[in-house]
Amino acid sequence: MVRLVIAVMAFVVGSVGAATLTGIELSATGVSRSKRVSLQDCPAGENIVRGVIRPVEDKEFATIQLSVRVLASFEGGDVPKPLLYDDADNEYKTAQSFREVGSKESYTCDFSFRVPTGTTLSRITIDDVTLDVSALD
């Protein structure tokens, strides 16, 4: 059990900063919270859909800003939607997607997640890549 905890801790510590997923370098660069957000896909395109939290809801959008750099090793293909986790290990999904990932060499994207107000954020995952966002919040 102790070895498992040490291995998990080493993985989480190693995931801070940039990580690579199938030829795409990803890093979490910021967290913001709001009641209204743009739900553009990544990289931003013509989608102008907005998300709004109704005043009676005890919810907010936690928006994670990701920096994306497409490496020469990128071969195309689909990139899964990110998942957000809080410190209690609850999972939150986003309506946004990665689209035309290789269309630009580098860009930033905002992925928004509907969470209970004041939720303490832990990490964002994309496939097998984990990025710690706790220090950004």
Residue ranges of domains in the chain, CATH in brackets: 2-136 (2.60.40)
pLDDT reading at 2 higher than 70? no
pLDDT interval class at 6 (50, 70, 90): very low
- pLDDT recorded at residue 1: 44
pLDDT interval class at 44 (50, 70, 90): confident
Computed over every residue of the chain, the mean pLDDT equals: 88
Tokens representing residue 37 in the block: 């957000």
Give the 3-state secondary structure of residue 38: strand
Distance from C-alpha of 37 to C-alpha of 42, rounded to nearest angstrom: 14
What is the rounded average pLDDT of the residues 13-39? 86
**pTM (2 d.p.):** 0.85
Q: Is the peptide bond before 43 cis (omega within 30 degrees of 0)?
A: yes
